Structure 1
């Protein structure tokens, strides 16, 4: 009734992430199902790290910019920018390798509004910073490095585009380069440490000290974590970090760091059919703009919702969203402005019976599931056969045998989509190894898919174990002769970077040549070089007269987002609290354990205080 864009795919890597039962925006089970059905608006962008993803693609041409964590052992300086690996890490041994670095004499620096357990564990120099001003502080560091000629000019000349006038491409001669911006040549404003200090709240002396440490300590790892990029113009922070990493020659070096996104070793990630239907979409919008689209349809501009360009007549079509599929994702916990999302759901429900469809597939009743018309219980990892993949870091596969049969009415994701496909007339195409009995007994079919997948692992990655041996042993870990270092081949062997120029693009040729920003997925102008852009909300904003505090939401120690919140003893041990600076608490006469209400125009929470 409402066309091929009416159903919004909001799958992501939540409860379902393995080679056979996968929730994913691009290669997931839901995307292929809706593609074969012929109705799908995709959700692009990952709220966790979209700023870093954008930056890595512009700077390096890929998001595989990460070293394996054992490379940290070889660093002499580690700058944890917005990173608290005591609570959040990509691989199981992150803290171990960083402890080894500490034992070898590595110095640690933490830039974070909060003093973290990581800062304590490594006896780090803690530099508190105003939230969302990271790019300004980095620009101040770059100015000091340039002004004192501490940049690795040989590295820049060989591997970098647009760092200075001499590395600009011929077609862009005369356009603004990074050094001219930093030194104030192009805009009359030198980005000095003093200039940065007024913005970010870090003293000019500390900015100078850190810049000097980073430029003169080799090798040094500036780990630009995801959290500072979850802000207005977060991509500028991430690209500014890329510029610092490149100007000091710490890219592609053991003990250095180009992260970023942090994705390293590439796994063989898909066991189910991956064909021409795998990522069919008829519209794609930025994942956190769906509520705006629903609430304002049809009076919506493409740039407001991040419409992904298409090369056909449907380009720019605003989707009339009437249904949402949540598979293994909890957007009502993960996205911003939840009250606006609830308002959008209320609008969909107001259309009346049969005029909207909200489906949630998960193993628990999540905050998102509460709003669903249909809640489909999905088997947990213990109730299905699969193989676990590394999450960005690590180089291994973990066999996950089926321990018990699914409880109650639970089924696996693959069972649910296969059954729906049969009822809609394309069952054999969706699951070619199965028949209609798959809904009742998936074991033999799942085994067949996993055996075929293991064959790809053997062929593509040189694994000699048989499938039966892998099942018996449970874990296959790849052994490298040396730590995996992103872009080592580019630096040591002259292999081109995956950018158009074949170099690290601090001046992005792609961004520089865009003439109509409304027809890009970004929607609005993004400078070709990293810049400090004043965000529309920060402690430097006039809104502070009404709302004098900046609330950030770091990961808790006892949960993974909302996961584990339903465990009673964890909730008794660790309550959800707000951490407040002691001086702020004193001004408000607030003490440890007091119950407070925190609010702004978007909503409110009532929580105890930890001073």
Structure 2
């Protein structure tokens, strides 16, 4: 049976409407004449996201990749040819047979001549919400079948937290996945202090599928029950208007200084909980000595903090007293980690919560990422669902994910990371599936130069985004609406059937089918598939997960019944989630996984690394770029949050994403005072620039942003014209340096810029597909 006929048979096998799920929601799918015409809201979602509708008009649009394609000079002259033309040169359509041969031949060349560590499977990104058709898992499983690859660790979202929290709390994931739920906050939280705000737009998304959005309702319910919210952010709009939040518009990158000022106020006024600190923490006295100024002669009091964060000292002192007098939740956004020294605000927030002594109590303590994703604060049961096994990677080399430009441009160089010294391998082949580095990464002009160095870049993509345009071989893959899958994640209570609504467009293939064909050419097809079809794998994943659920007292229907029903909701946990409740109740029976078993306000391990940019306790370390160091050339602090109209750069060409464009470009928000000083008007095309690059944007004047700060969301497809992105990608401007030697995370939010009126109206080119010729001869230089 062909792939298309298999899918058509699958569509006909259910007697219900078609259903799908994505990282931003669950939808019923309408189809007419073989085309998806509409996505209807899942009836159990009280606050549906509009993002999903962006796919309807682009599934078979002009930017869809309909056949395998190879960059022209690479095809004619072989690997290593004119890598500097990636992103500029046209592509040639080839057959699947030729594409499979080219990829298999190149993989054999690289691993034979240079070793498997010369293959980098970046593939960072969210890809599909489906449990089986998860692009990164499929690619890594395949590459492990042929000897492995250089990998990456951590995320662009919160790398600094991923590395520092295990030193402070013993691990990261349990403290991310087990946040005190909104129901408990509604009942018990009196004061919610949100460093980085609570942008509900970020709460649209959740890894592995979203059945029902809860963030807005959670906030409003807490507010209605008397919770007072404080929004500590340069953006007033980082909290819902309905919350009536107190707005503290601090300077970006000064959150740590503000937290230290609050902490020292607690000491000065004897408001800290010494009993909690003695029983549950280690190292407080070392930290207190720093706060008092015993170590450097500078007391980190409210006046000191006020000079840095630009919030009046009296207001800081009042807030410290309020936090001590009430059941207080200290929330830190993911964005706080994406700045220079991003480890510090997370560590400082935990120390501050420990000083209040409310960790483990209902409605108190700390939380990382409320409203950053839908699942944070969601009351749910954990089920260890099965996933596609990736096998074991024999290659030991890896990098922190945000150091890809360093690796590509400096083979043999080294980088310090979390107490280790890593050596960069000499990467000859990059393979990306399910993500877009020209969205996630910083200083894209630097990345583009580094990206020219490998011999070959392969991309599995469904549309001509910036990744596909910067590849040598493009393998067209299906969208989730063209294949069968299951949205199944412990982050969400809904398990959802993802139906193939329409056949694949053009010659697009599922990632599994793409890799199976290449595996067959390389003699590892049996190892890759284990003799299972995609439908067999889905059945195995579901039934294995069903068995795991049963061991936890959860009854799920069998696979066939589930397919007929379309969705299942896992029951709520018997007890509502309170972060670190067991540890507080009995720290001897439930110790943390730190060396001491306690919260490490001072970490001997971190101190032992002897990193000047990450000492052994929370500290203020001045960033190189922030308003405290603004210059005439770069007087504005640019922050670049996640977009409201898409997930990262996904569906940037869709109708929802394009609805907020100004003159075809991403909007940039600026305070009226800053606009007036530059003679700029609403709706004008402007140029944002610094020494690293520039981007064009449409101006939106907004009083809800702090003067001296501008905001432009990430996600615009990178559309370079020299050092300038015509489309509005702010990562042409951001710094490509690590948070510190500890985590080496990204620091996009530590960025100074200038803005001026655009001198010309060069239109974005990203809407033009780069296919200009068809294959006329089977005789190829690399054959």
Partner of 1:287: 401
2:477 aligned with 1:378? yes
- Name the CA distance, whole Å, in 2 between partners of 1:473 and 1:119: 34
- Name the CA distance, whole Å, in 1 between partners of 2:648 and 2:422: 34
Partner of 2:764: none
Pair 1:47–1:224, CA change in 2 (3 A) = same
Match of 2:218 among 91, 97, 101: 97
Pair 1:81–1:502, CA change in 2 (3 A) = same
Check conservation: 1:20, 1:450, Cα contact below 8 A: no
2:508 aligned with 1:410? yes
Match of 1:142 among 263, 279, 287: 263
Pair 1:459–1:21, CA change in 2 (3 A) = farther
Q: State the shift of 1:83 in Å.
A: 2.9
> What is the DSSP-based 3-state SS (H/G/I as helix, E as strand, rest coil) of the residue aligned with 1:513?
helix
- Name the CA distance, whole Å, in 2 between partners of 1:342 and 1:457: 46
2:178 aligned with 1:80? no
Partner of 1:527: 615
Match of 2:598 among 495, 503, 506: 503
Pair 1:409–1:460, CA change in 2 (3 A) = farther
> What is the DSSP-based 3-state SS (H/G/I as helix, E as strand, rest coil) of the residue aligned with 2:284?
coil
- Name the CA distance, whole Å, in 2 between partners of 1:450 and 1:406: 24
> What is the DSSP-based 3-state SS (H/G/I as helix, E as strand, rest coil) of the residue aligned with 1:545?
coil
2:625 aligned with 1:537? yes
Check conservation: 1:140, 1:193, Cα contact below 8 A: yes
Match of 1:271 among 376, 387, 401: 387
- Name the CA distance, whole Å, in 1 between partners of 2:167 and 2:628: 29
- Name the CA distance, whole Å, in 2 between partners of 1:601 and 1:475: 53
- Name the CA distance, whole Å, in 2 between partners of 1:462 and 1:280: 37
| 469-478 vs 188-197, which moves further | 469-478
Check conservation: 1:7, 1:322, Cα contact below 8 A: yes
Match of 1:241 among 330, 337, 349: 349
1:435-477 alpha-carbon deviations (Å, 9 max, x no partner) = xxx4xxx334433443333333333563354334433250222
2:519 aligned with 1:426? no
Larger strand proportion, structure 1 or 2?
A: 2
Pair 1:109–1:579, CA change in 2 (3 A) = same
Q: State the shift of 1:99 in Å.
A: 0.6
Check conservation: 1:15, 1:362, Cα contact below 8 A: no
- Name the CA distance, whole Å, in 2 between partners of 1:23 and 1:12: 10
1:328-477 mapped onto 2 (5 Å cutoff)? 328-348=434-454, 356-390=455-489, 393-434=491-532, 438=533, 442-460=534-552, 462-471=554-563, 472-477=565-570
Match of 1:481 among 574, 578, 582: 574
> TM-score with structure 1 length normalisation?
0.86
Partner of 1:6: 118
Q: State the shift of 1:201 in Å.
A: 1.4
> What is the DSSP-based 3-state SS (H/G/I as helix, E as strand, rest coil) of the residue aligned with 1:551?
strand
Partner of 2:60: none
Partner of 1:559: 646
> What is the DSSP-based 3-state SS (H/G/I as helix, E as strand, rest coil) of the residue aligned with 2:231?
strand
- Name the CA distance, whole Å, in 2 between partners of 1:307 and 1:255: 33
Unaligned runs of 5+ in 2: 1-112, 207-212, 371-375, 702-783
Partner of 1:579: 669
- Name the CA distance, whole Å, in 2 between partners of 1:281 and 1:323: 15
Check conservation: 2:539, 2:559, Cα contact below 8 A: no
Q: State the shift of 1:124 in Å.
A: 0.5
Partner of 2:250: 129
Pair 1:46–1:549, CA change in 2 (3 A) = same
Partner of 2:728: none
Q: State the shift of 1:192 in Å.
A: 0.7
> What is the DSSP-based 3-state SS (H/G/I as helix, E as strand, rest coil) of the residue aligned with 2:636?
coil
- Name the CA distance, whole Å, in 2 between partners of 1:527 and 1:93: 38
Pair 1:84–1:418, CA change in 2 (3 A) = same
Q: State the shift of 1:560 in Å.
A: 2.0
Unaligned runs of 5+ in 1: 165-176, 310-314, 349-355, 518-523
> TM-score with structure 2 length normalisation?
0.68
Q: State the shift of 1:88 in Å.
A: 0.8
Q: State the shift of 1:339 in Å.
A: 0.9
Check conservation: 2:660, 2:667, Cα contact below 8 A: no
Corresponding pairs, count = 563
Partner of 2:304: 195
| 464-473 vs 118-127, which moves further | 464-473
Check conservation: 1:113, 1:128, Cα contact below 8 A: yes
1:222-233 mapped onto 2 (5 Å cutoff)? 222-233=330-341
| 358-367 vs 193-202, which moves further | 358-367
> What is the DSSP-based 3-state SS (H/G/I as helix, E as strand, rest coil) of the residue aligned with 2:694?
strand
Q: State the shift of 1:261 in Å.
A: 5.5
Match of 2:184 among 57, 61, 71: 71
- Name the CA distance, whole Å, in 1 between partners of 2:257 and 2:246: 19
Q: State the shift of 1:95 in Å.
A: 1.0
1:143-170 alpha-carbon deviations (Å, 9 max, x no partner) = 1111111112222111111122xxxxxx
Pair 1:525–1:558, CA change in 2 (3 A) = closer
1:81-117 alpha-carbon deviations (Å, 9 max, x no partner) = 1133321126620110111101101101101111215
> What is the DSSP-based 3-state SS (H/G/I as helix, E as strand, rest coil) of the residue aligned with 1:149?
coil
2:583 aligned with 1:490? yes
1:482-510 alpha-carbon deviations (Å, 9 max, x no partner) = 32122111112431112221111111232
1:267-320 alpha-carbon deviations (Å, 9 max, x no partner) = 434432254x1x54331112222212222334x2333xx4995xxxxx844300
Check conservation: 2:152, 2:401, Cα contact below 8 A: yes
Check conservation: 2:402, 2:441, Cα contact below 8 A: yes
Q: State the shift of 1:47 in Å.
A: 1.0
Check conservation: 1:13, 1:23, Cα contact below 8 A: no
- Name the CA distance, whole Å, in 2 between partners of 1:234 and 1:579: 24
1:538-568 alpha-carbon deviations (Å, 9 max, x no partner) = 1112x52321111111223222221232123
- Name the CA distance, whole Å, in 2 between partners of 1:252 and 1:139: 22
Partner of 1:174: none
Check conservation: 1:271, 1:450, Cα contact below 8 A: no
1:246-277 alpha-carbon deviations (Å, 9 max, x no partner) = 211232222124322676764434432254x1
Partner of 1:521: none
Check conservation: 1:500, 1:509, Cα contact below 8 A: no
Pair 1:216–1:363, CA change in 2 (3 A) = farther
Check conservation: 1:10, 1:325, Cα contact below 8 A: yes
Q: State the shift of 1:119 in Å.
A: 4.3
Check conservation: 1:396, 1:478, Cα contact below 8 A: no
* Aligned CA-pair RMSD: 2.4
Check conservation: 1:53, 1:261, Cα contact below 8 A: no
Pair 1:70–1:586, CA change in 2 (3 A) = same
